[in-house]
Chains A and B, each alone.
Chain A
Amino acid sequence: MSILVYAEHRNHKFNKASYELISFGNKLAGDLNTNVFAFTTGTLAREDLKTLGNYGCNTILHFPQDVSDDEKQLSRIISDIASERNASIVLIPHSFRGRAAAPRVAIRLKASLAQAISGYPVSLKPMVVNKRAFSGKALIEETLVADISVLTLNANTFGLIENVVEPAIEVLSIDAGSAATRVIQSEVQSGKVLLSEADIVVSGGRGMRSADNWQPLEELAEVLGAATACSRPVSDEGWRPHHEHVGQTGKVVSPNLYFALGISGAIQHLAGISASKVIVAVNKDPDAPIFGAADYGIIGDLQTVLPRLTEAFRKHKSQS
């Protein structure tokens, strides 16, 4: 028996979600008295590979050919490795490609699947997990009945646990087979904080008034090292790109801190942010429903409040 973690990277550096998943896998391995293996694919420097050891992973299986873009190929390779290493739990990041591969891996392994679990399982034998349902309006406890479990984890719900070990790196030479899909063009921004795994998210709504008013919001995000986001009307109006839309039909986020700026708090928006630990709302309407979901509220006009907020956080940052 073992635990297998699929570790993802962006621009040849591991995502925070991968370190969180290794931390999670290491705790599972401790509780089940077994080992945690990490599998990764694509070009990675040895010192970058070794960073998985900072969270307790002692064996890293590296396949240098990048197969992460083809869902069928990637899931076949992950499931083959899981079978070879006799994995009883396979952990996959709840990222775009992770959540796409997980169901395929589960079918190949005849495993039970739970996507976007919120934190550590309630029980390991049998595997019982907590998840959100009805877009955050309900919490469910679910038993996974198969002998093998494939799990994806909601970002920031377990956290990072440092545990530095010197990992062994095995370079895999396996038959990758052929891909059924072909990438024609990739555009990936390198600098930006990922919305899906950000600690802090700064999000704007209709109260931002127009597409030209986002500079102060981006400034606040930069000071906080936060990802930027928006509500549905904003992306529907084309003020911000669709990939920033947080809410029921957009992205569901789970940061430690979420700023809702000029967002009234429609039930569909709340569905996307209810997993946030702390919510700060700024709105000029004291009756806006967002204040019912927020921990801290400011009633005021964004044009004056937003620059002051940025200033206050900048001052804090320079003092700490």
Chain B
Amino acid sequence: MNILVCISNVPDTTTRIKFTADNKSVDYTGVQWIINPWDELALTRAIELKEAGKANKIMVISVGNSTVEATLRKALAAGADEAIRVDAEALDSFSTASHLADAIKQYPADIILCGIESSDYNGSSVGGMLAEMLDLPSVSSVSSLEIEGGSIKITREIEGGRQQLETALPAVLVVQKGIAINPRIPSMRGIMTARTKPLKVITASAVNAESQINSYDTPPQKSSCRMIDPENLDELVELLHKEARVI
């Protein structure tokens, strides 16, 4: 069973987000790039399955210019076997999914893993789009994945509960936290061997975006916090009822 993990290259989640002067784009100067947290958990589960002898080859794939290669190398250092970079600009979810779909036709896998969203644009779209473009089944909000022989068992979250499912393969699984808890940190040996692992660069045909960001803004700041005396909580109830009108 071969696993392909789709990786998004995102700013470190503790980054303070700044915009350019015209508010039309993000100012990425000085930003540290990381593997999108959910993609990292997907990769971690893939590595665990390989270590347990349940999966054979782990490939990672990302769309972007040469700056994403550092992130792909991190994935190789953590335990992936091969990396693919699609040399194109990820304009929006649609263009990203289109580029991934074209590449995956050349490098098929039994299980394709995507994080449930990326921590930059929070689009929650690439996995589902990719599955539809490849005409594959998909299962989303997956919190557990087991491989048993030639088939897989999945747990996914739904409103107010969860389900266990089986799916025909190949399939796209869109994963959330729970699939793994702590991301795999590359070992020194992993970092050394990552240098010799294959990182292929493939060219892409042009794809138009389906959406376009007009402007960025910072969320409105809260006015100061009104402190309530813990001995007088009726005041809080009164404020929530009459001032904030939320109860």
Residues in A lying within 8 Å of B, measured CB to CB: 8, 10, 15, 69-72, 75, 95-97, 99-104, 106-108, 111-116, 128, 131-146, 180-190, 192, 194, 196, 199-200, 224, 236, 242-243, 245, 248-250, 252, 256-257, 267-268, 271, 274, 277-281, 291-300, 304-305, 308-309, 311-313, 315-316, 320
B160 and A194 contact, CB distance less than 8 A: yes
The B contact surface, by secondary structure, is mixed
Q: Which residues of B, 11-45, contact A by the 8 Å Cβ criterion?
A: 11, 13-14, 16-17, 19, 26, 37-38
In the complex, what residues of B have CB within 8 A of residue A106's CB?
Answer: 94, 125, 129, 210
Flag whether B234 is at the interface (Cβ < 8 A).
yes
Cβ contact of B230, chosen from A70, A242, A298, A320, cutoff 8 A: A298
B214 and A142 contact, CB distance less than 8 A: yes
A139 and B218 contact, CB distance less than 8 A: yes
Bound-state Cα–Cα, A283 to B14, Å: 23
A278 and B246 contact, CB distance less than 8 A: yes
What are 25 A-B pairs at a CB distance below 8 A? Answer: A72-B136, A72-B138, A95-B159, A97-B159, A100-B141, A101-B128, A103-B125, A107-B132, A133-B120, A134-B120, A137-B17, A138-B217, A139-B217, A141-B214, A180-B167, A181-B137, A181-B165, A200-B247, A224-B247, A298-B236, A304-B230, A305-B230, A311-B233, A315-B234, A316-B247
Besides A134-B121, A144-B211, 11 other CB < 8 A contacts? A10-B159, A97-B159, A131-B122, A137-B16, A140-B215, A181-B167, A184-B166, A190-B160, A267-B13, A278-B246, A309-B233
Cβ contact of A102, chosen from B128, B177, B209, B239, cutoff 8 A: B128
Bound-state Cα–Cα, A250 to B143, Å: 12
* Chain B nearest Cβ from A8, distance in angstroms: 8
B166 and A181 contact, CB distance less than 8 A: yes
A103 and B93 contact, CB distance less than 8 A: yes
Flag whether B197 is at the interface (Cβ < 8 A).
no
The verdict on A184 contacting B230 (CB below 8 Å), with A113-B93, A133-B122 known, is no
Flag whether B241 is at the interface (Cβ < 8 A).
yes
* Chain A nearest Cβ from B45, distance in angstroms: 14
The verdict on A135 contacting B122 (CB below 8 Å), with A106-B129, A196-B159, A278-B246 known, is yes
Bound-state Cα–Cα, A250 to B116, Å: 10
* Chain B nearest Cβ from A111, distance in angstroms: 8
Query: Which of B73-81, B82-90, B221-229 contacts its partner?
Result: B221-229
Which single residue of chain B is at the shortest CB-CB distance from A139? B217
B17 and A243 contact, CB distance less than 8 A: no
Flag whether B106 is at the interface (Cβ < 8 A).
no
Which interface residue of B17, B166, B237 has the most chain A CB atoms within 10 A? B237
In the complex, what residues of B have CB within 8 A of residue A295's CB?
Answer: 222, 225-226, 244
Flag whether B188 is at the interface (Cβ < 8 A).
no
Size bracket of the B interface: 35 or more
B217 and A188 contact, CB distance less than 8 A: no
A10 and B160 contact, CB distance less than 8 A: yes
B38 and A249 contact, CB distance less than 8 A: yes
B214 and A256 contact, CB distance less than 8 A: no
In the complex, what residues of A have CB within 8 A of residue B167's CB?
Answer: 180-182
Which single residue of chain A is at the shortest CB-CB distance from B129? A103
Bound-state Cα–Cα, A115 to B174, Å: 15
A96 and B240 contact, CB distance less than 8 A: no
The verdict on A145 contacting B161 (CB below 8 Å), with A75-B132, A140-B216, A294-B225 known, is no
A249 and B244 contact, CB distance less than 8 A: no
In the complex, what residues of B have CB within 8 A of residue A298's CB?
Answer: 227-228, 230, 233, 236
Bound-state Cα–Cα, A71 to B37, Å: 24
Bound-state Cα–Cα, A180 to B155, Å: 16
B14 and A267 contact, CB distance less than 8 A: yes
The verdict on A138 contacting B163 (CB below 8 Å), with A96-B157, A308-B233 known, is no
B161 and A143 contact, CB distance less than 8 A: no
Q: Which residues of B, 59-107, contact A by the 8 Å Cβ criterion?
A: 93-94, 97
Flag whether B9 is at the interface (Cβ < 8 A).
no
